Amino acid sequence: MPTWPEKRSVLGRRVRRADGPLKVTGAAKYTSDVQPAGCLYGMILRSKWPAARVTEIDLSEAARSPGIKAAILVRDGERRVRYYGEELAAVAGTTKQACLDALRKIAVRAQRLPFVVKETDGIKPDAPRVWEEAPNLSKPQVTERGQVEQAFAEADVVVEGTYSTQIEIHHCLESHGNAAVWNGDELTVWSSTQGVFSVREGLAGNLGVDQSKVRVISEFMGGGFGSKFGPGVEGAIVARLAKEANAPVKLMLSRFEESLAVGNRPSSIQKVRLGATRAGKLVAYELDSYGTAGVGSGAATEGGGGGAEFPAPYIYAIPNTRVQHRGVALNAGAARAFRAPGHPQASFGIESILDELAVKLGLDPVELRLLNDPSEIRQREYRLGRDRFGWREKYRSPGSSPGPVKVGVGCAGATWGGGGGGTRAQAQINPDGSVEIRCGTQDLGTGTRTVMAMVAAEVFGLPPEAIRARLGDTAYPPSGGSGGSTTAASVSPAVYDACEKALTELKQRTGLEDVRGENWKPACRKLGLEPLVVSGQWQKGLSSSGVGGVQFAEVEVDIETGLVRVRKITCVQDCGLIVSRLTCESQVNGGIIMGIGYALYEDRVMDAGTGVVLNPNLETYKLPGIADIPEIDVVLVDMPERGVIGIGEPVTIPTASAIANAVANALGVRISSLPITPDKVLAALGQVKEVTA
């Protein structure tokens, strides 16, 4: 089994992002920037009804509209639409303005149907059915271990609570979209995607063409967070428009469309019961949870959450547990994978009730976790983080902070996989000594290019900037989608393998023993006219999976305005062998900041009366702004012997839980639904009998 070199000169260093200069100068070309010669613009007409039977769509006037080169139906014949924003028809035209005009000329005949968009309405037996053939609420998925009722009966203390999490929208800054160019029966698609190969597979299947005839390119992409694996309906549409118009077509969704139809994090409404001994040892746990994945829940997901389920009781070992998950279908856009699917919801429920238990038992929340968390890694992280954060000095009994701006602290832990596999890479060594590394992966902004260059640089004894890393193209050796925090752990071993083999072959072909570093160029010159091209693949031993992380939050809450401000987050996180330290740190910051958004600001709001999304834009769907960012203190726990493990997802999981616990600690009253907005804070304070001010 291969291993990483004991002594590393490049890996683990802070190396400038390989494509940094392209990004700061505007030279990086994203899918939205691609403009093939003669390229048309595509746009989609969407349902303005949350539920309807569409009987006729007349495209004739739109097709005759000035500048319009193609107009198509998404689906032929009579059909149902099940959410506000579902795709109906599409046009391609010479300008965006021409497309906007044409969309207004499409006549749709439809019969409105009853709809339901709120979880609490959707579970009612007489609620309108989203999927005709099945009730909205799925059959429960139940797992039971031990003797739950007996354990609760014997527990010294039992706490109960209901915790809910909202629908979060990905809002990648580059919207979903593609540019499609047909050349005969071959299709080239620029795609803003997390998986060039999964987009190719999806498109080929959808269009009924061989995968070998579809090429997908994603050199730069503006964020995915789980929502950009497949081509989507919009991907199939743009390929059809390009065929119909016999011209290249680019179709990027608007921010409005991003809010309706391309994924979200499912909600959860979690009824939790927790039993423990007087000393704080957890003995019994019960969860009854339901949530919605929009139209993604329902008929297709009988007996489960349909994407709304999550691991429970998450990271804690409790001998007696009963867990029940259900999904409720609603007339709203379907959920998709979202950075650590299920985990932030799981974390919020269990970490919230753990702190309730700590209050009831008069225990320090960190001590309670040390008593019940079976992970040795997190045990050590909690101890380190507690000192670094100053927990002992900062923690005081709930609600005892003086004055109108209350300060509180909270903590939470998390786990994630992040292992690798299924990736090939190619190293090309040119006679002039230049090096190209090719891999059909993609860089979501996580730093994959930099990781590839650093691994090759380590093997060849070269500076990372001497390596040209090429990715984001199905013409390169295949790799998987960038999801599950698997990219670094998949790509690094494959590049390492290719480079190690290339090094061996270079030595053989040149007859030289030492070709690394300063010997590199002279050795490469001996290749003559023929570059060296060597393939490698992911190997066991260079990566592993399973990480633990803990976070501490310090917040201040203004009890007059209800506004919560996060002062500080301390994060202690392991990720195996650190490959690219600078981009790794950035990902940790990013996960935490996304967690702050989940904790305090983000929420897709549906209108029960009209069935529409009320905040389909970025001024009413709130993201954290630059002034909302607290001091972030990060400790990366280095475990090189474990190989490479991904870090993108685990770092976003515990942030919201830690913040919610800190808010509860500050106020002495818990806001048990995310996001913790000022109105909820003020409402919760209304229940407090005495407020010191």
Partner 1 sequence: MKQSTSPPGDPLSVSRRSFLKNLGTTAAAGAVSAAEGIAQESARAGAEAVQGPDAVPITLRVNGETRPLTLEPRVTLLDALRDHAGLTGAKEVCDRGTCGACTVLLDGEPVYACMMLAIQAQGREITTVEGLARNGNLTALQEAFVDKDASMCGYCTPGFVMSLTALLRRNPHPTPADIHHACAGNLCRCGTQPRIVQAALQASGVEVLSRTEVISYAHLA
- The least CB distance from residue 670 to partner 1, in Å, is 27
Site for partner 1 contains 614 (CB under 8 A): no
Q: Rounded to an integer, what distance in angstroms lies between the CA atom of residue 191 and that of residue 253?
A: 12
Between 223 and 531, whose beta carbon lies closer to partner 1? Answer: 223
- The least CB distance from residue 593 to partner 1, in Å, is 3
Site for partner 1 contains 8 (CB under 8 A): no
| Pairing mode, strands 214-217 and 157-165 | unpaired
Region of 205 (left: φ > 0; alpha: ψ -120 to 50; beta: rest) is alpha
Contact predicate 284/157, CB 8 Å: no
Where in 191-230 is the site for partner 1 (CB under 8 A)?
Answer: 220-223, 225
Between 275 and 445, whose beta carbon lies closer to partner 1? Answer: 445
- The least CB distance from residue 550 to partner 1, in Å, is 12
Site for partner 1 contains 23 (CB under 8 A): yes
Q: Which window, 169-177, 262-270, 282-290, 355-363, contacts partner 1 (CB under 8 A)?
A: 169-177
Residue 35's Cβ-side half-sphere holds a number of Cα atoms within 13 Å equal to 3
Per the omega criterion (within 30 degrees of 0), is the bond before 313 cis? yes
- As a dihedral over the C-alpha atoms of residue 463, residue 465, residue 466, residue 470, rounded to 10 degrees, the angle is 130
Q: Rounded to an integer, what distance in angstroms lies between the CA atom of residue 222 and that of residue 30?
A: 7
At position 250, the amino acid (one-letter code) is: K
Between 305 and 595, whose beta carbon lies closer to partner 1? Answer: 595
- The least CB distance from residue 377 to partner 1, in Å, is 7
Site for partner 1 contains 627 (CB under 8 A): yes
Question: According to the 3-state scheme, what is the secondary structure of 451-476?
Answer: HHHHHHHHHHCCCHHHEEEEECECCC
Where in 407-466 is the site for partner 1 (CB under 8 A)?
Answer: 444-447
Q: Rounded to an integer, what distance in angstroms lies between the CA atom of residue 209 and that of residue 192?
A: 21
- The least CB distance from residue 468 to partner 1, in Å, is 17
Which run of H or of E encompasses 520?
helix 520-525
Contact predicate 591/663, CB 8 Å: no
Q: Which window, 172-180, 455-463, 520-528, 555-563, contacts partner 1 (CB under 8 A)?
A: 172-180
Between 384 and 682, whose beta carbon lies closer to partner 1? Answer: 384
For every residue of 568-588, DSSP letters joined together read EEEEEEE-BS-S-HHHHHHHH
Contacts 24+ apart (CB under 8 A), 360-365: 360/157, 360/159, 361/157, 361/276, 361/278, 361/280, 363/280, 364/395, 365/395, 365/410, 365/411, 365/661
**Which residue from 396, 517, 413 is spatially nearest to 463, judged by alpha carbons?**
517
Site for partner 1 contains 590 (CB under 8 A): yes
Where in 342-361 is the site for partner 1 (CB under 8 A)?
Answer: none
How many angstroms from the chain centroid is the CA of residue 74? Answer: 28
- The least CB distance from residue 624 to partner 1, in Å, is 8
- The least CB distance from residue 235 to partner 1, in Å, is 19
Sort 428 into a burial class: Cβ within 10 Å, 0-12 / 13-18 / 19+. Answer: middle
Site for partner 1 contains 157 (CB under 8 A): no
Helix, strand, or coil here: 41? strand
Between 617 and 692, whose beta carbon lies closer to partner 1? Answer: 617
**Both structure tokens of 322:** 């009963």
Residue in 16, 64, 145, 540 binding partner 1, rule: CB under 8 A: 16
Task: For residue 300, count other CB atoms closer than 10 A to its CB.
Answer: 14
Task: For residue 377, count other CB atoms closer than 10 A to its CB.
Answer: 20
Contact predicate 473/216, CB 8 Å: yes
Q: Rounded to an integer, what distance in angstroms lies between the CA atom of residue 662 and that of residue 681?
A: 13
Residue in 105, 171, 200, 265 binding partner 1, rule: CB under 8 A: 171
Residue in 405, 563, 634, 691 binding partner 1, rule: CB under 8 A: 634
Q: Which window, 14-22, 196-204, 312-320, 416-424, contacts partner 1 (CB under 8 A)?
A: 14-22
Site for partner 1 contains 618 (CB under 8 A): yes
Site for partner 1 contains 37 (CB under 8 A): no
Binding residue count for partner 1, defined by CB under 8 A: 76
**Both structure tokens of 435:** 């090096």
- The least CB distance from residue 587 to partner 1, in Å, is 8
Between 95 and 212, whose beta carbon lies closer to partner 1? Answer: 95
Helix, strand, or coil here: 362? coil
- The least CB distance from residue 429 to partner 1, in Å, is 27
- The least CB distance from residue 639 to partner 1, in Å, is 5
Q: Which window, 19-27, 123-131, 152-160, 453-461, contacts partner 1 (CB under 8 A)?
A: 19-27
Residue in 636, 667, 676, 681 binding partner 1, rule: CB under 8 A: 636
Where in 243-282 is the site for partner 1 (CB under 8 A)?
Answer: 252, 254-255
At position 141, the amino acid (one-letter code) is: Q
Q: Which window, 136-144, 270-278, 459-467, 627-635, contacts partner 1 (CB under 8 A)?
A: 627-635
Site for partner 1 contains 685 (CB under 8 A): no
Residue in 624, 643, 646, 675 binding partner 1, rule: CB under 8 A: 624
- The least CB distance from residue 492 to partner 1, in Å, is 17
Between 307 and 591, whose beta carbon lies closer to partner 1? Answer: 591
Residue in 73, 629, 682, 691 binding partner 1, rule: CB under 8 A: 629
Helix, strand, or coil here: 383? helix
- The least CB distance from residue 628 to partner 1, in Å, is 8
Task: For residue 614, count other CB atoms closer than 10 A to its CB.
Answer: 12
Between 489 and 532, whose beta carbon lies closer to partner 1? Answer: 489
State the distance between the two ends of the chain, measured CA to CA, in whole angstroms.
64
**Both structure tokens of 323:** 């867990």
Contact predicate 231/87, CB 8 Å: no
Where in 82-141 is the site for partner 1 (CB under 8 A)?
Answer: 95-97
Task: For residue 360, count other CB atoms closer than 10 A to its CB.
Answer: 14
Site for partner 1 contains 17 (CB under 8 A): yes
Where in 558-587 is the site for partner 1 (CB under 8 A)?
Answer: 574, 578, 581-583, 585-587
Q: Rounded to an integer, what distance in angstroms lies between the CA atom of residue 202 and that of residue 209?
A: 10
Sheet of 268-276: strands edge to edge? Answer: 141-145, 320-327, 282-291, 268-276, 157-165
Between 228 and 424, whose beta carbon lies closer to partner 1? Answer: 228
Residue in 245, 377, 429, 645 binding partner 1, rule: CB under 8 A: 377
Q: Rounded to an integer, what distance in angstroms lies between the CA atom of residue 267 and that of residue 452?
A: 37
Residue in 217, 312, 469, 593 binding partner 1, rule: CB under 8 A: 593
- The least CB distance from residue 137 to partner 1, in Å, is 33
Between 181 and 636, whose beta carbon lies closer to partner 1? Answer: 636
Site for partner 1 contains 617 (CB under 8 A): yes
**Both structure tokens of 105:** 């000329």
Q: Rounded to an integer, what distance in angstroms lies between the CA atom of residue 64 and that of residue 502?
A: 58
* Residues 380-409 as x/- pattern, contact with partner 1 by CB under 8 A: xx-xx-------------------------
Residue in 4, 10, 11, 19 binding partner 1, rule: CB under 8 A: 19
Site for partner 1 contains 594 (CB under 8 A): yes
Site for partner 1 contains 65 (CB under 8 A): no
Residue in 158, 639, 682, 691 binding partner 1, rule: CB under 8 A: 639
